Structure 1
Amino acid sequence: MTFILAAHSDRLERLRAQLAGTARSDSRMERRLRLSPQTGFLYGMTLRAAARLEQDQKLTDLEENLIGLLRLSGSSDSEIAEFGHLYRDNLTARGTGEIFPAAVTGRPLTEGYSYEDLAAELPALAPELTSQPTFRTVRADALGPDEGIDTEEAAAARFEYGGGSIVVLADGDIGPWATNPTPLDVRVEYNKFYAVRVGDQGGGRSEIYWASGAGSDTAAYPDFKSREYGATSSGDTKYFDSGSYVFRGTIKNTLMCNIQCWEADDSDGGFYNRLREALRDISRWCYDKSEKLIDQNEDYNASSAFLSLVALISDLINLILGWLINEDDLFGEVDIAYSSRGLYEMSRRSVDHNRVNFSGRNGSNSVDLYMKVVMPQGPVFPPEPLKLRTLNNGSWSSATELPNSLSRTAPAVEAFQDKLHVTFIRGGGTQLLWTSSENASSWTTPTQIRGFGGYLRPALCPVDANTLLGVHVGGAGELWWSTYDGSTWSAHQRVKNYVATAGAALTWHDGRIYLVHRGQDQAMHVNSYANGQWSDSTVLSSFAGMFKPTTPSAPTAVSYKGVLHVVYRASDNSLGWFRLQNGSWTPSSVASHWRTTAGPAIEVSDNRMYCLHVGTGGRLYSASYDGTAWSGATQIGGPVATDDPVLQTYQGKLRLMYR
């Protein structure tokens, strides 16, 4: 068996061979270095910083962090100076010029290289960094029911080049508009692993263990090293012991993890204890710098900046590990970066979606790791006040702001007993608040409904002239309902055992209230309420269940001309449309070329069905349906919506509320 950390003399010899161009060309580290001219960018800057340290130059902030990575691996400053001396002596060697770009080797050692220097160069590096086969970006909210975060192609590239990275995002979660005001609790648990193939040519048995370091932008999680899972054969499934975590702590925006699968174990774990501290700082830095890049370059959006930084850091960690550790017994290694919204979406999916493959030993070993994400409270947009506009003779009024209406979600709006009622989740908290107006102008002070709380958009719908039904989503996605009789809200009750992953929609149709919600499978589920009882839910589908669309957002529903209509944001961001008539659902689309970035809204007014959706840049577009055809979409001047708009007819006029 081998130790994880290589001896200093071995590190020097590896580096000397790399710089001279005589290193083994078949090693995964060498293949990774030659994958792209920019792959070794930060690795080269690390060696360059070591050379500046050897010359007693004052290190920049970035250089201090890069040297810190070498220190955490156990190298002393005198040993790091040896690395720098070797780099300096080989600046003109064949290998140095092949693996490091001129931006590294061509800069005089008297000049430092700072974070700000990197930020200025990053936009030019981005396309090459994020197009590498070892780099995979995943939109968790757009994954199909059978899709996971890893693919065979990505796993093959990681095997070929000695590691890689997976970045798990969701819609609209990178950038200053997505900053979470308070840290959110999250757990990424080791659940199980499946031995696809172990031992020579897939025969024999192996002793397998796992090691990881992880850090969010708020916390570092103590390093993890599993016990050895002995006598593991091809086809075996092994479950992790209780309390096995990749990460357990809080997150505001980003989490970065480095996970390795090994055969045999002789390490003390101290290296990973230091690595997780670095990952915490790296995670925080990636997010902070991606935001600052927007200010420096308006053409470079924060999502691209974040992805580029993750690609750079992944290359650096992979190359540093390949240099400093012995990988004779390494099955595979991967860096995974999650955004807060990406984590929340993955928490709503089964462990089968959060699978990552680890392959090594010339393909003779292949192991699938399954992780479970637990995140009770989802990330939120910064709280925004609710705004109201009214459609008057075909023109929308200017916006009026509801007082004390800072909300973390889109609201629910409903006309009941001659008043306009609004419920929403308090900005910066989880309380379900309620306000009402007799004229859509003067509003009551928002008050909490019976201690209720939630994290997603609520819904309202009258049952009859004396009863208003409300539905809200709890911290674990559970659906709750209660009623209002004009003076008091009832205690809430569960809507059976259903779990929602987005705000629900309510509407009255054919003597019943219909509830449409997005389930854990991302499909839409429909059930109804009558006489105090809820029916069982069915998946919204057609063609004998062959067409079962998924949605990344909350759906919307209304009854119009005897037909129940459901409009939703499809997985390709088009507007999907279902109609229930004579007991069967008919699928269609509102307009194939329209695209939305949030859940749409539909409502009936003046004998037409209106549909609003959010286009690029948060701009709102309106169209209407007369029972035969849709009108063209027209932009509503002025408003920019953070998320789903809401429509409601009150006192004979169509009202639009958004935030």
Structure 2
Amino acid sequence: MQSSQERIERLKAMLTGRSSNRRTGAALASSGELGNLLLGVALHGADRLRENRLPTDLEMALVAALHAAIDGEEVKAWGAAYREVVQSADPGTLVVPEVITSRPSSSGYGVEDLAEVIPQLSQEAGRAANVSLLTAEDLAAGRIQEDAAFVEAMRETGFAVTGGARYPGTTAAAAAGSQDTGTAQNPAPAADSWRVRLEMENFYVERAVGDQGGGRDEIYFTAAASAGGKKGEPFVSEEFGKVVKGQTRTFSSNNKVFLDQQCSGGLVVASIQVWEADQSNAAWYANLQKALNTTIERIDALLNNPVAIIADPTPLPVTIAYEVTKVFVALMDALRNDDDLSDTRTFVLSRDDMAILTHQPNLEWNFNGDGHHILRVRYTGERPVYPEGSIEIISRAQPTGGTLGGAWSVPIPLGWKTRATPALASYRGDLYTVFSRSTDNRLVWSRYDGTAWSTPRIIGSAASDRPCALAVHQDQLHLMYTGGDSKVYHGWFDGQQWSPLQPFLDWKTGFGPALVEVHNHLWAAATGGNTVYAAKWKQNVTGPVTRQASPSGAAYGAPALGSSTFKAILDHRQSDDSICSRFPDNWTGREVRSWRTRHAPTVHHSGSYDWMAHIGTDGRVYLSWRDTHKAYDEYPKPKTEWEWTNRAEVIEQGTWTCTPLETPAHTTHNRRLYAIYHTQA
């Protein structure tokens, strides 16, 4: 490190956009109107500390990071230098925003001030080319290749931030125009402690690094990581010499773990750097990086207490990480006169990300600075423990014909709990789910837009502890559920609001109902006693009429509805645990003799095929299909084309097998088959 006075002069130059490092200048200049706010707050807090004023919690969190690199007296000197530059700089030359530079030292900048500008900071982070959001679906499917534009942006600025894409607040639900004012806060309780372990496997050299004069070809990696607020040990890899394009270099087996920590909640924050092996880092560097990681978690906690702050489109932890990483970039510029840092990246992962990585453990992270290296990271820790009733979703590529399709993704935890299988449907280009929250059985809905699920919203007064049903009919999303009074209720969503929920005929059942659209008519089915009843109608054209679909004593549990070209097909469990398929007109039954289940099956119709899920007596979920592309009228009686394929596929991926509490609901959406369920303990 340089002398104190040299560092202060570099700080002054950096604050007015005159950094000698091109990438530092690009990093700080690329921000929006509020860019580098937390850098300004850190220095504002240092100035207030110099004047013996009590810093706010936010200022103290940031000033603590400064203390990790320089002593207390120099922190105060930095505060004085900041105030001097703010008062003397020409208009438009400062790299920190006016919202902080215009504030006198007598006025602190606190969490409540930051909360007011988080929406704008989130939008600015969302527009930053060097910020990437990894969807849980991509992670679960093993789609880990990073976007080329994102990789190029980190070369320009020297840093990048990556985190999970999630809606932390009610923004998305509000955008749907729900008339409900209450949100459905139903998070899964904190899990028991689990071991978080991440290790560097190897890296591929896309472009070799060299000094400005092109003389050196040696690199090494450093990392500072924390889990749930607990700091891990700093990591420094061995030096890799004579690195050339096209090589794959492997980390030493006894020096590749960069995080090994027990965790009971919170975030995993990891900062990783690639260096040219010209100089060795002093202890202050590792302390600074760990302190900044802690700052990310501390600010996130401050903003989420007592009420979560809305950040859209960039989740709050990623928004904060983006701003804090720029603090690191600025401090490295002020503290060092060396140009051997090739690239730095910050990663923010959640408990749910760790759960996905347990089954899909491989990651590829690009470091594109002076050189371009693709780092391969592997999660070797434990899977977080989730309570019984936690909702998970899986998916796979879905063929148009009657074949079993692509490999299943690993399960994605959605962070909610329920007492019954959620319903699932594709509607107006998004994926919708409705489920009963575990605290009070109130029905709530959420929407997946391809990036993240919205915060669940309450549906009127609807409540149920049984699986409900969804189906799209005449551009409306129809809902049917069994109330606490055993009556069956019906309503629909038009993309803006839910209709009033009304009893459906005089139906009563102890199970969940079923819905399907067939030839522009909506069909419903429910079990009353041991008899299945069905009804068919066309919204706003004809009213529903009940038909008895199975003889008394035949059905055990909730029915499922599939579809032929013009008719509905009914499937249900029988008293001997077999599954019976009943065909239209006279509801003739045919038993699937080789299958046994103690749970109600679920059926989804897509194109010319029905897809059935059922839980075998071994507790595993099986999936099968039947071809319904021919009109029933072509047959004098049910033919083999109408029967389920006898070979059923076990829903599994690698060492993971789907073993839920009840049979998953499933639907096709954007050429993928999705299945949703709630878990055992």
The residue correspondences of 1:315-394 to structure 2 (distance < 5 A) are 315-349=326-360, 351=362, 354-361=363-370, 365-377=371-383, 380=413, 381-386=415-420, 387-388=465-466
Does residue 76 of structure 2 align to residue 81 of structure 1? yes
Q: Paired residue for 1:608?
A: none
Kept in 2, the 8 Å contact 1:215–1:280? The answer is yes
| CA-to-aligned-CA distance 1:139-192 (integer Å, 9 cap, x gap) | 141369684252332122112112121113469899964555114433221111
Q: Paired residue for 2:543?
A: none
Kept in 1, the 8 Å contact 2:115–2:303? The answer is yes
The size of the alignment, in residue pairs, is 459
Rounded to whole Å, the distance in 2 between the matches of 1:461 and 1:230 is 66
* C-alpha spacing 1:181/1:390, structure 2 compared with 1 (3 Å): closer
Residue 54 of structure 2, aligned match among 28, 35, 58: 58
* C-alpha spacing 1:33/1:278, structure 2 compared with 1 (3 Å): closer
Scaled by the length of structure 2, what TM-score is found?
0.57
Kept in 1, the 8 Å contact 2:344–2:367? The answer is yes
Rounded to whole Å, the distance in 2 between the matches of 1:172 and 1:118 is 17
Q: Paired residue for 1:142?
A: 138
Kept in 1, the 8 Å contact 2:231–2:290? The answer is yes
Q: Paired residue for 1:275?
A: 289
* C-alpha spacing 1:383/1:395, structure 2 compared with 1 (3 Å): closer
- Tell me the CA shift for residue 107 of structure 1: 0.7
* C-alpha spacing 1:71/1:17, structure 2 compared with 1 (3 Å): same
* C-alpha spacing 1:16/1:172, structure 2 compared with 1 (3 Å): closer
Rounded to whole Å, the distance in 2 between the matches of 1:43 and 1:419 is 68
Q: Paired residue for 2:199?
A: 189
Rounded to whole Å, the distance in 1 between the matches of 2:556 and 2:597 is 19
1:384 maps to a residue whose letter is T
Kept in 1, the 8 Å contact 2:270–2:293? The answer is yes
Kept in 2, the 8 Å contact 1:187–1:247? The answer is yes
Gaps of 5+ in 1: 403-410, 421-437, 442-459, 471-480, 485-489, 496-502, 527-553, 558-566, 578-598, 601-642, 647-657
Rounded to whole Å, the distance in 2 between the matches of 1:172 and 1:290 is 10
Rounded to whole Å, the distance in 1 between the matches of 2:145 and 2:304 is 23
| CA-to-aligned-CA distance 1:515-545 (integer Å, 9 cap, x gap) | 25363699xx99xxxxxxxxxxxxxxxxxxx
SS at match of 2:327: helix
Kept in 2, the 8 Å contact 1:133–1:154? The answer is yes
SS at match of 2:482: coil
| More displaced stretch, 507-516 vs 246-255 | 507-516
Does residue 45 of structure 2 align to residue 49 of structure 1? yes
Q: Paired residue for 2:259?
A: 247
SS at match of 1:91: helix
Rounded to whole Å, the distance in 2 between the matches of 1:242 and 1:385 is 45
* C-alpha spacing 1:81/1:348, structure 2 compared with 1 (3 Å): same
Rounded to whole Å, the distance in 1 between the matches of 2:578 and 2:194 is 31
1:256 maps to a residue whose letter is V
Q: Paired residue for 2:271?
A: 258
Rounded to whole Å, the distance in 2 between the matches of 1:186 and 1:401 is 46
Rounded to whole Å, the distance in 1 between the matches of 2:56 and 2:103 is 14
Q: Paired residue for 1:475?
A: none
Kept in 2, the 8 Å contact 1:209–1:226? The answer is yes
- Tell me the CA shift for residue 10 of structure 1: 3.2
Kept in 1, the 8 Å contact 2:65–2:295? The answer is no
- Tell me the CA shift for residue 239 of structure 1: 1.1
1:258 maps to a residue whose letter is S
Rounded to whole Å, the distance in 1 between the matches of 2:273 and 2:238 is 13
Q: Paired residue for 2:88?
A: 93
* C-alpha spacing 1:390/1:122, structure 2 compared with 1 (3 Å): closer
* C-alpha spacing 1:288/1:512, structure 2 compared with 1 (3 Å): farther
Gaps of 5+ in 2: 171-183, 387-412, 421-464, 470-477, 487-510, 514-525, 532-554, 559-576, 580-591, 600-613, 627-642
Rounded to whole Å, the distance in 1 between the matches of 2:141 and 2:15 is 47
2:53 maps to a residue whose letter is Q
- Tell me the CA shift for residue 111 of structure 1: 0.5
SS at match of 1:188: strand
The residue correspondences of 1:462-541 to structure 2 (distance < 5 A) are 464=593, 468=597, 484=617, 505=623, 510=644, 512-517=646-651, 519=653
- Tell me the CA shift for residue 366 of structure 1: 1.8
Rounded to whole Å, the distance in 1 between the matches of 2:116 and 2:648 is 53
2:648 maps to a residue whose letter is Y
Rounded to whole Å, the distance in 2 between the matches of 1:286 and 1:130 is 17
* C-alpha spacing 1:19/1:389, structure 2 compared with 1 (3 Å): closer
Scaled by the length of structure 1, what TM-score is found?
0.59
SS at match of 1:336: strand
Sequence identity percentage = 19
* C-alpha spacing 1:237/1:461, structure 2 compared with 1 (3 Å): farther
Rounded to whole Å, the distance in 2 between the matches of 1:515 and 1:469 is 18
| CA-to-aligned-CA distance 1:536-583 (integer Å, 9 cap, x gap) | xxxxxxxxxxxxxxxxxx9969xxxxxxxxx5454xxx4756xxxxxx
| CA-to-aligned-CA distance 1:456-502 (integer Å, 9 cap, x gap) | xxxx98785895489xxxxxxxxxx9975xxxxx7x9xx9xxxxxxx
Does residue 319 of structure 2 align to residue 235 of structure 1? no
Rounded to whole Å, the distance in 1 between the matches of 2:483 and 2:342 is 59
Kept in 2, the 8 Å contact 1:389–1:399? The answer is no
Q: Paired residue for 2:27?
A: 32
| More displaced stretch, 135-144 vs 326-335 | 135-144
Kept in 2, the 8 Å contact 1:216–1:283? The answer is no
Residue 398 of structure 1, aligned match among 451, 460, 482: 482
Larger gyration radius, structure 1 or structure 2: 2
1:388 maps to a residue whose letter is R
Does residue 319 of structure 2 align to residue 308 of structure 1? yes
Does residue 168 of structure 2 align to residue 156 of structure 1? no
Rounded to whole Å, the distance in 2 between the matches of 1:398 and 1:276 is 52
Kept in 1, the 8 Å contact 2:299–2:320? The answer is no
Rounded to whole Å, the distance in 2 between the matches of 1:189 and 1:517 is 30
SS at match of 2:233: strand
The residue correspondences of 1:82-231 to structure 2 (distance < 5 A) are 82-94=77-89, 97-142=93-138, 147-148=143-144, 150-169=146-165, 177-178=186-187, 181-182=190-191, 183-200=193-210, 206-231=217-242
* C-alpha spacing 1:293/1:30, structure 2 compared with 1 (3 Å): farther
Rounded to whole Å, the distance in 1 between the matches of 2:225 and 2:131 is 19
Rounded to whole Å, the distance in 2 between the matches of 1:395 and 1:137 is 33
